[in-house]
A and B are shown apart, each in its own frame.
Chain A
Amino acid sequence: MSDAATHTPTPARTPPITLVGPIGWVRTNLFSGWVSSLVSLLLLFLVVKWVLGFLDWGVFNAIWSVPNDAAGRPDTSSCRALAGTGACWAVIGEKHRFILFGTYPYEEQWRALLAILVFIALFIVSAMRRFWRKELALIWIGALTLIGVLMWGGLLGLAYVPQERWGGLVITLILATFGLAFAFPLSILVALGRRSKLPAIKALCVLYVELVRGVPLISVLFMASVMFPLFLPEGMNIDKLLRAQIAIILFAGAYLAEVVRGGLQTLPRGQYEAADALGLSYWKKTGFIILPQALRLVIPPLVNTFIGFFKDTSLVLIIGIFDLLTAGKTAIIEPAWQGFGIEVYLTVGFIYFCFCFAMSSYSQRLEAELNQSRGR
């Protein structure tokens, strides 16, 4: 009775061309309604206009180098003649070594460059999960010592360079990285202290964390700049860069302590109880059971905190240390180059962006991976 056996299904019709493929994509993602279409068109128009304007200024109308005048000084009149219609990248050509290395001795700047490369290599190695072992601490100690040797010199035939001549990108990297390297152990102790059952230790840690987190970094840097010298016994003084570094370590320590505490809190209670049940001592429990798990959890927020401090080191501008931003601003004090701030800011901003973007995309990817492996 049924003619089901003879039924031949009609082949599925291909969806209308307006729903699939590039056209479909455009329709659903750009023009799904008249408001949406209007907004899309307007935004696209603005973006194209802005990009074209920027290209005009930064590429087509730009001046890439300037001749020297009779006295051997760069003659920037051709740049001035542009009157803002084009970029004067010649300022970067002339000043790039000052922006990157500050007042580091010119012939020795390869050492600062090498130190920057060591920093980048250190970041890359630390980012690889293959190296997430206790030996990583040794790698860090080795790399930071190597950077110290490169920057100071004084041995292996390298000329000694005092800290006040260091400058530029390397200062930014030193302040951020050394800040993290020293603040991290401090923050672990403080985070443990804050969760301690001993009231006096807990109170001290809470006081430290809340005090530091309640005030701006600038005030801590001012303190390092004008108050530290009063704290020390008469006749002893600490170099300005080291003072700023100590301030950044103390500041970062409080923020990292909160990050670490977050990791300690997310660890299931069972881990603590199991360790107790095994009869482990406090330090064994912490060192073998708790920290290895908790620290793994806090790596993404740790990277984010590091990005924050990397950017915040630019505040040393206000106390007169030659970091990347200060060096950029100082480069345009020279009368011939005054007024080309935008070019310098863009360059400096680009350098900051490269570092921060690399780190933040890494931390996002890592977070996704870690979440996945935890089976969520």
Chain B
Amino acid sequence: MLGFGPMVRRALGAALLLATTALPAAAQQAPVDTLAAIRARGTLVCGVNTGLAGFAQPDSQGVWRGFDIDYCRSVAAAIFGDASKVRYVPTTAQSRFTALQSGEVDVLFRNTTWTLSRDTSLGLDFPAVNFYDGQGFMVKKSLGVTSATQLNGATICVQPGTTTEQNLTDWARASNIRFTPVVIERLEEVVAAYVAGRCDAYTTDASGLAATRSAQPTPADHVILPEVISKEPLGPAVRQGDARFADIVRWSHFALLVAEEMGITAANADAALASDARPEAQRLLGKSGDLGKMLGLDNAFALHIIKAVGNYGEVFARHLAPIGLQRARSPNALYLHGGLQYAPPFR
């Protein structure tokens, strides 16, 4: 007797029906050629933070905004000429690399520090550095602390699971400082703990400190200590082994830098295309040469990027200046102004 009862049969049928409706939208073939896969899909899938003021955060209408988001948009503009063809996948500190490795996302714009072990042992490539950061400390002014060396015996709030807590222990050992950690995973929680006075100091990347400080009712009550205890070059990450797509991400970033060097903005890009006689500007905007085609993109890819998000300075001013990050005299200034942001020539 192989007969199933009608109830069992119906239940099985229902399960199968629902499974077939749910699966096709979900299972998708991961790309070997990332660019071809993105084109075939019609959207870029971008891994972002689950919520970090200034970098990636949904607004009241549920629209993602931030520095990293504009970078996602710039890559989409480069590929499609349309910056809106992006899907954002929020990733946690644990799941970000798995998401990239498994092809769930095409590129990761998620405040990821470029380190040797990540570059080699995780199967990732870091095409560029779009933000130079470093780990620092913030304390309440009322504490009267002016240097990190005075933090002996303090309670320090730190987020685990990144390079941050390892930098902290390295630094404490090197400078012979004893501290009590308060280790909290979620950003909002760790900030709330610091603000409530659960810790004497809060340590994270300087950009995060500035963002937290500027969000306080009276930012002047908090001091960011002068010591920077680590190098944190933040940038996009792509899967290893697809050099062409890595090139596209890299040169999208450089296009933003070169546009700023040459004073081309979202507002004057069309005018510059028509009238700018500088040869590099013409090559950048795709009027002459075929640089875009060499990347496998539209020749005017940089023009699309600039019209969609502006140049590097505009992106920075739009998202990072409001959270209190200084650009002048920081490593993120253009090399012309003494910073580290330096793009190879568009030639």
**A and B assemble together:** yes
Minimum CB–CB distance from B59 to chain A (whole Å) comes to 7
| 0/1 string, A235-259, CB within 8 A of B gives 1 | 1111110100000000000000000
Given contacts A226-B94, A333-B57, A339-B195, contact A236 B29 (CB under 8 A): yes
Partner pick for A238 among B26, B32, B95, CB 8 A cutoff? B26
B150 an interface residue at 8 Å Cβ cutoff? no
Flag if A236 contacts B30 (CB, 8 Å). yes
Given contacts A165-B87, A182-B18, contact A106 B62 (CB under 8 A): yes
What count of chain B residues pass the 8 Å CB interface test?
61
Partner pick for B102 among A185, A229, A326, CB 8 A cutoff? A229
Partner pick for A320 among B62, B90, B214, CB 8 A cutoff? B90
Q: For residues 48 through 64 of chain B, which have their beta carbon under 8 Å from a beta carbon of chain A?
A: 50-53, 57-64
A335 an interface residue at 8 Å Cβ cutoff? yes
A-B pair count, CB < 8 Å, reads 166
A283 to B3 alpha-carbon distance, docked (Å): 7
A225 to B117 alpha-carbon distance, docked (Å): 22
| Main SS class of interface, A | helix
The segment from A14-22, A93-101, A123-131 found at the interface with B is A93-101
Flag if A163 contacts B18 (CB, 8 Å). no
What count of chain A residues pass the 8 Å CB interface test?
68
| 0/1 string, B15-29, CB within 8 A of A gives 1 | 101100110011111
| 0/1 string, B60-102, CB within 8 A of A gives 1 | 1111100000000000000000000001111110110011011
Q: For residues 75 through 103 of chain A, which have their beta carbon under 8 Å from a beta carbon of chain B?
A: 80, 94-95, 97-98, 101-103
Minimum CB–CB distance from B16 to chain A (whole Å) comes to 10
Flag if B11 contacts A225 (CB, 8 Å). no
Minimum CB–CB distance from A79 to chain B (whole Å) comes to 10
20 more A-B contacts (CB under 8 A) besides A103-B64, A109-B62, A229-B104? A102-B58, A103-B58, A103-B62, A134-B7, A134-B10, A148-B22, A165-B87, A182-B18, A188-B11, A225-B92, A226-B94, A232-B102, A236-B28, A237-B27, A238-B26, A238-B27, A282-B1, A320-B95, A321-B90, A329-B188
Pull 24 A–B residue pairs with CB atoms less than 8 Å apart, ordered by A.
Answer: A94-B60, A103-B88, A105-B62, A109-B62, A134-B7, A152-B25, A164-B87, A185-B12, A225-B92, A226-B95, A229-B101, A230-B98, A237-B104, A238-B26, A242-B22, A281-B3, A286-B5, A320-B90, A320-B95, A332-B188, A334-B53, A334-B60, A338-B191, A338-B215
